[in-house]
Structure formats: structure tokens, C-alpha cells
Amino acid sequence: MEHPRNLSELLPGQSAEVRSLQTVGPMRRRLLDLGLIEHTEVMCLGKSPLGDPSAYLIRGAVIAIRAKDSRQILINIKQT
């Protein structure tokens, strides 16, 4: 089994499966409300010119997530 990585490591065009959320409090609630739960597929659509935030396709919606928050989301990158 592959070592889990965090969402901020995902490159534009790559897809991954959410493994777990390491964040707590209101941010965890927001991410869960957006549908970012275990086994959800996430695709990185791009990063802003300065690298923060990044845009992700999650359950059909485009969501921008800051790097400090995306580092708290563990993923398994899908092999192409």
C-alpha cells in the first residue's frame, strides 16, 4: 500500500482519493459539508500563480482550498 500524501502535493491534472481529514474544528466541518469525506475522488484543476490557493474538482464542484488547509487532507494518488 502506498504511503498517504497530502492534498497540497497533488499536481494539476492528477486525481486522488481522500483517505482522511487531519483538521479539526470549523474547518473540518466546512470540508465535510463540501463532501470531502473518505473515498471521495478529488482532481487538481490548477494552482494560482503564487501557488495558493489551488482549485480542486470535488463531487462536480470546483473548490479553492488554501495550502495550509490542503496539507491536513491525506490522499492516495491514483496511478494513470
User: One digit per residue, pLDDT tens: the chain, 80 residues?
Assistant: 466 799 999 999 999 999 999 999 999 999 999 889 999 999 999 998 887 899 999 999 999 999 999 999 999 987 76
Q: How does DSSP classify residue 53?
A: S
Give the per-residue pLDDT at 52: 87
Does domain 5-77 bear CATH number 2.30.30.90?
yes
Question: What are the φ and ψ backbone dihedral angles of 51, each rounded to 5 degrees?
Answer: 90, 0
The pLDDT score that the predictor gives to residue 26 is 94
Q: Where are the domains of the chain?
A: 5-77
Indicate the pTM of the whole model: 0.86
* Confidence (pLDDT) at 46: 94
- pLDDT score for 57: 96
C-alpha 47/C-alpha 61 separation (Å) is 16
